[in-house]
């Protein structure tokens, strides 16, 4: 037995930002160190994601996680107790093998990702270094560029508008702190505009303002106005990033934009998005088409991939094989990386590495159901991802992650570098 041998694994039921139960895992090593991690949960999930195991039944709308916790304390603990926490690949292989399904449906992706991340954190803690440093080793890292939500929509706001995330990105900010400063001014200005119009109705699931708009265009116009009223030039100082999350309103080959009263085919969607790119300072678009519409992704990337970053989220579900396929077919230019979509750290890293290998951008991302867990902030820095997305600059489960990057930036001191760019270049 070495110092980093796993001696105990245990699950605890804790709560997420939507008042839903979720899985926390605690992994203890022989030297007494403990790693702890909490599984997040999506609302606009891709069909190819690792399964978030829920109990069904009466409690909490069927969303209880007693079965997943039982798996952590039982089969999962049995599978990895006695193994070396420094050997993440073997730990994750054991988790995947014990589950035995292609989508982690038996033991639960939520149970597995909590344990996998907790093991990683225990290993870092045992070495006495911050997780980001443990991951980076002696490689240089950059502070990631944040994309931060100002208005939430789609599945995170009862479909009040169709588009899910209206975000800003400060491409030329000289530091993470400066990017947050600018974003906070834009957020304040957006709130003031809504208040003056009598449209201030609280916030959506990720802390962006509730989108009480008559159309998607009105949301975009208001965002540009907020950037201006905050004293910035829309585009060069503060640009726009969208997550369309188009799978959510795609049905039977048609895109139904309820807010705009329009129903579009793939060509119509692409034309609408190209029109927005012409009219607004948009630099990045996530899931512009449905996860089922690979041809649409290719066509959109052909038409706009040299002007905006095209991100696959539901389309790629943090799956290395899908990332390879997307790269080979030029279906997008960047990959959203969500550990719980994959279900283990190793599979998340494999998807990330596939993106890197093919020159695609990578954005480490939170989910709409989150907690105070800040592990992904360390992945974003330690893997040198270059970009980071965790929702808005309001609500504690969001600011916990931004604030953690501020601490890391401070720790890096003069070595802290941001990826300065006027647009997202393929790597």
Catalytic center residues? 206, 338
> Considering only residues 24, 92, 248, 313, which one is a binding residue for Zn ion as defined by CB under 5 A?
313
Q: How far apart are CA 48 and CA 392, in angstroms?
A: 26
Token code pair at residue 403: 């604030």
Choose which of 10, 367, 378, 398 interacts with ligand PGA (CB under 6 A). 367
Query: Does position 22 bind ligand PGA by CB under 6 A?
Result: no
Stretch that binds ligand PGA, among 37-45, 75-83, 194-202, 413-421 (CB under 6 A): 37-45
How many CA atoms lie within 13 Å of 12's alpha carbon, on the beta-carbon side? 11
Binding-site string for ligand PGA from residue 142 to residue 161, where x marks contact by CB under 6 A and - marks none: -------------x------
| 291 forms part of the interface with Zn ion (CB under 5 A) | no
Number of residues that bind ligand PGA (CB under 6 A): 12
Q: Is 245 in the site for ligand PGA (CB under 6 A)?
A: yes
Choose the contact partner of 43 out of ligand PGA, Zn ion, none; CB within 5 to 8 A by kind: ligand PGA
Stretch of 8-16, 76-84, 227-235, 360-368 contacting ligand PGA, by CB under 6 A: 360-368
Min separation Cβ 192 and ligand PGA, Å: 27
**Closest by Cα among 295, 389, 300 to 338:** 389
Least distance CB 44 / ligand PGA (angstroms): 4
By CB under 6 A, is residue 373 in contact with ligand PGA?
A: no
42 touching ligand PGA, by CB under 6 A? yes
Among 16, 162, 243, 291, interactor with ligand PGA by CB under 6 A: 243
Interacting positions 254-313 with ligand PGA (CB under 6 A) = 313
Burial of 198 per CB tally in 10 Å (0-12, 13-18, 19+)? exposed
Question: Minimal distance in Å, beta carbon 6 to ligand PGA?
Answer: 29
Among 365, 371, 387, 399, binds ligand PGA (CB under 6 A): 365
Q: Which stretch binds ligand PGA (CB under 6 A): 36-44, 104-112, 378-386, 407-415?
A: 36-44
16 binds Zn ion (CB under 5 A): no
Other CB atoms within 10 A of residue 266 CB: 20
Nearer to ligand PGA, 35 or 211 (CB): 211
Stretch that binds Zn ion, among 57-65, 124-132, 265-273, 284-292 (CB under 5 A): 284-292
Q: Is 205 in the site for Zn ion (CB under 5 A)?
A: no
**Phi/psi of residue 366, nearest 5 degrees:** -80, -175
Residues that bind ligand PGA (CB under 6 A): 42-45, 155, 164, 243, 245, 313, 365, 367-368
Residues that bind Zn ion (CB under 5 A): 243, 286, 313
């Amino acid at each position: 037995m070495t110092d980093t041998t796993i001696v105990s694994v245990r699950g605890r039921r804790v709560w997420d930002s939507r008042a839903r139960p979720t899985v926390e895992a605690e992994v203890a090593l022989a030297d007494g160190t403990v790693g702890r991690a909490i599984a997040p949960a999506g609302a606009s999930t891709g069909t190819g994601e690792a399964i978030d195991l829920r109990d069904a039944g009466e409690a909490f709308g069927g969303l209880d996680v007693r079965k997943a916790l039982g798996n952590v304390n039982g089969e999962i603990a049995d599978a990895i107790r006695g193994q070396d926490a420094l050997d993440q690949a073997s730990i994750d292989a054991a988790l995947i093998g014990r589950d035995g399904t292609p989508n982690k449906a038996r033991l639960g992706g939520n149970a597995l990702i909590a344990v996998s991340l907790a093991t990683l954190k225990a290993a870092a803690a045992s070495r006495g270094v911050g997780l980001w440093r443990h991951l980076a080793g002696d490689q240089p890292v950059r502070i990631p560029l944040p994309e931060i939500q100002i208005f939430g929509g789609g599945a995170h706001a009862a479909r009040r508008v169709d588009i899910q995330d209206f975000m800003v990105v400060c491409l030329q900010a000289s530091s993470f702190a400066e990017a947050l400063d600018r974003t906070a001014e834009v957020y304040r200005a957006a709130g003031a505009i809504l208040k003056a119009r009598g449209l201030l109705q609280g916030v959506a699931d990720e802390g962006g303002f509730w989108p009480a708009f008559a159309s998607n265009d009105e949301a975009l116009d208001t965002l540009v106005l907020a950037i201006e009223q905050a004293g910035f030039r829309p585009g060069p100082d503060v640009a726009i990033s969208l997550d369309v999350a188009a799978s959510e309103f795609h049905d039977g080959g048609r895109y139904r934009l309820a807010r705009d009263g329009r129903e579009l085919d793939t060509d119509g969607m692409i034309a609408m998005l190209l029109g927005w790119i012409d009219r607004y300072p948009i630099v990045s678009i996530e899931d512009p088409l449905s996860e089922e519409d690979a041809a649409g992704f290719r066509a959109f990337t052909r038409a706009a991939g040299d002007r905006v970053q095209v991100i696959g989220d539901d389309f790629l579900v943090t799956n290395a094989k899908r990332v390879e396929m997307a790269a080979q077919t030029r279906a997008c230019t960047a990959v959203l990386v969500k550990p719980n979509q994959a279900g283990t750290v190793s599979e998340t890293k494999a998807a990330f590495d596939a993106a890197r290998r093919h020159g695609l951008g990578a954005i480490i991302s939170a989910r709409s159901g989150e907690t105070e867990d800040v592990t992904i902030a360390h992945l974003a820095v330690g893997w040198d991802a270059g970009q980071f997305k965790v929702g808005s600059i309001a609500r504690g489960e969001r600011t916990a992650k931004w604030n953690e990057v501020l601490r890391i930036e401070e720790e890096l001191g003069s070595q802290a570098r941001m990826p300065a760019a006027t647009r997202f270049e393929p790597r």
